[in-house]
Structure 1
Amino acid sequence: MPKEFGVLTIGDAMITMNPKTTGPLRYVDQFERKVGGAEMNFAIGCARLGLKSRWISRLGKDEFGKVIYNFARGEGIDVSAVEFIEGIPTSLNFKEIHASGAGKTYYYRNPSPIVELKEEDISEEMLDGIDVVHLTGVYLAIAEKNLLIAQKIIKLAKQKGILISFDPNIRLKLWSIEKARQAYETVFPEVDILLTGLDEIQMISGKQTIEELVEYVENFGIRDFVIKDGEKGSKLFRSGRWTESPGFAVTPIDTVGAGDGFDAGYIYGILNELNEEDLLRFANGVGALVTTVTGDNEGLPYLEEVQDFVSNKKVVER
């Protein structure tokens, strides 16, 4: 029987209001209620790929909080470390989508219920059965104390030999690049897998050329330096060499969540010991499929769908 791999992530989740029409938000008057959030998307992506997915969070004790909780459970996510909080409403965001598939997000999450999560709430038992802990810069940006909580999780994970993956996922609406850089460079020495966009790592490091970026990342001892570059594909620097994989030709409808999907695909590939080329191709495939469906996580594919897509297998529809 194949081994069941476990992943753990921590972060906010939100009710996402998806516009029914494209264009500036001021002209949109109809929305669909969905569930979103970077860490939530990652947890769903992992669960759909067959990984055991555990999520640490706090939700408002309100109807929207119940929607998110039930949705996560329905996706097979372990919500044993999720609690409801009185007095702080569940976070919201409204999406603006342009005809090209690009867009903006407007957040209503200050304060977020997750600010009630405390360092003492994190226990060693939360990491039982976990093979990878995935953290993002979004969680770190919500409150200053979240860095201490993340550090506690990292410490417990390292004691158990658990890999740490990190996606900066910069949100400059939540904090400045200076504060972000300080927090990231605090956790980087413990990170095994860095999953970032080219513009993000350039912004964080203050470096521009690939050579400078490699030197910056190597100074922290990061094993896998992964650059996500959207439709152009991705590249991985490991053991002194680059591996590149082109993107897939799809028509994007909504690009939100594609990076989270890539992360889930990459972690699946790491745990299943795919070689570098197959690892990137698989992760690219997950990210590409996400863009073909409107919504933060509606397009996150199941394992068989990704396998068929990346192998160009024709699907019999009728």
Structure 2
Amino acid sequence: MIVFNPSKTGPLRFVPSFERAVGGAELNFAIGITRLDMEARWISCIGDDEFGKVIYNFARGEGVDVSHVSRTPNIPTSIYFKEIGEDGAGKSFYYRKPSPLLELTADCLDESVLDGVDLLHISGVYLAVCEHNIEVALKLVHFAKVKNIPVSFDPNLRLKLWTIEDARAAYEKLYSSVNLLLTGQDEFELLFEGRTVKGVQQQYQIDEIIIKKGEQGASVYTATEQYDRAAFSIRAIDTVGAGDAFDAAYVYGYLNGDDIPERLRLANGAGALVATIKGDNEGLPSLQELKQFIGDEKLIER
């Protein structure tokens, strides 16, 4: 989507001007991956309009493979306005119905869309936008299973886009195919209504459930172990996009063969860095920036 960032903090009705940028959970994740020196392919549909051109060129400029991004002249590109509080917490106001994604149906895809892919990542925001998107996601998951490709899923619950009941019903169709479930603590509690992480893991046979806890850090649950990692201490400016950065860095570590404690360290670091900069993806770190922040490399400035 096109993002309009406010020129000042506080309620949106008192904001006099906005700055145009590009955002969206799935694209943020893809950019996060490319900045960590891995390749990312983005599957989507945007409007064939000026805003769509901004998004397409921005994604391509970040090194994201846009060969499976279609453009439609029939529906305008989606936009949203962001509200930022004094503590950096954000609220989103969406204008995305109808969405260009209406024209990206399951019939548009075949197995070749995942050729050369090592992991399929799906966001719950995508599922919320159009009713048929769950069919698209399930078809992609089927292709992934045929090709023995692991699947990561972030519920990214957006109750401004649909009800909690609709979200639960859609997500329920995916859980048993998910290898990495990356969810916020509050999301987990809303989605699973008092059930334990272990209980959910055993029911759906999810390899790893990763619980993001913001300034309290994060935890990972496997079939036999629990891993906890404290957050990095920062002053948050804008928390929107921090979860996407966490996901990208965790998946980077997973594909890189890092152990879980190291993945958590990378993910917490990436999420923290994004929260220190205004914007959805402006703060997504390069691999060198991330390693410098978490202390693996020294920063030398001349």
State TM-score, norm by structure 1: 0.93
Q: CA deviation at 1:239?
A: 2.9
Determine the structure 1 residue equivalent to 2:29: 42
Task: Map 1:1-318 onto structure 2 (within 5 A).
Answer: 14-207=1-194, 212-311=196-295, 313-318=297-302
Distance in 1 of aligned mates of 2:190 and 2:224: 23
Task: Indicate conservation of the 8 Å contact 2:178/2:206, yes or no.
Answer: yes
Give the AA of the match of 2:241: G
Q: CA deviation at 1:232?
A: 1.1
Number of residue pairs matched by the alignment: 302
Partner SS, residue 265 of structure 2: helix
User: Which stretches of structure 1, 4 residues or longer, exceed 2 Å deviation after superposition?
Assistant: none
Q: CA deviation at 1:313?
A: 4.2
Q: Which moved more, 1:33-42 or 1:305-314?
A: 305-314
Which ranges in structure 1 are unaligned for 5 or more consecutive residues?
1-13
Distance in 2 of aligned mates of 1:103 and 1:279: 26
Distance in 2 of aligned mates of 1:81 and 1:133: 14
Task: Indicate conservation of the 8 Å contact 1:202/1:213, yes or no.
Answer: no
State TM-score, norm by structure 2: 0.98
Distance in 2 of aligned mates of 1:248 and 1:276: 17
Distance in 1 of aligned mates of 2:299 and 2:86: 28
Give the AA of the match of 2:253: G
Q: CA RMSD in A?
A: 1.0
Which ranges in structure 2 are unaligned for 5 or more consecutive residues?
none
Distance in 2 of aligned mates of 1:316 and 1:30: 37
1:157-205 Cα deviation digits (max 9, x unpaired): 1111100000000010111111101111110000000000111111111
Distance in 1 of aligned mates of 2:201 and 2:129: 25
Partner SS, residue 232 of structure 2: coil
1:285-315 Cα deviation digits (max 9, x unpaired): 0100000110000000000111111126442
Partner SS, residue 134 of structure 1: strand
Distance in 1 of aligned mates of 2:6 and 2:124: 26
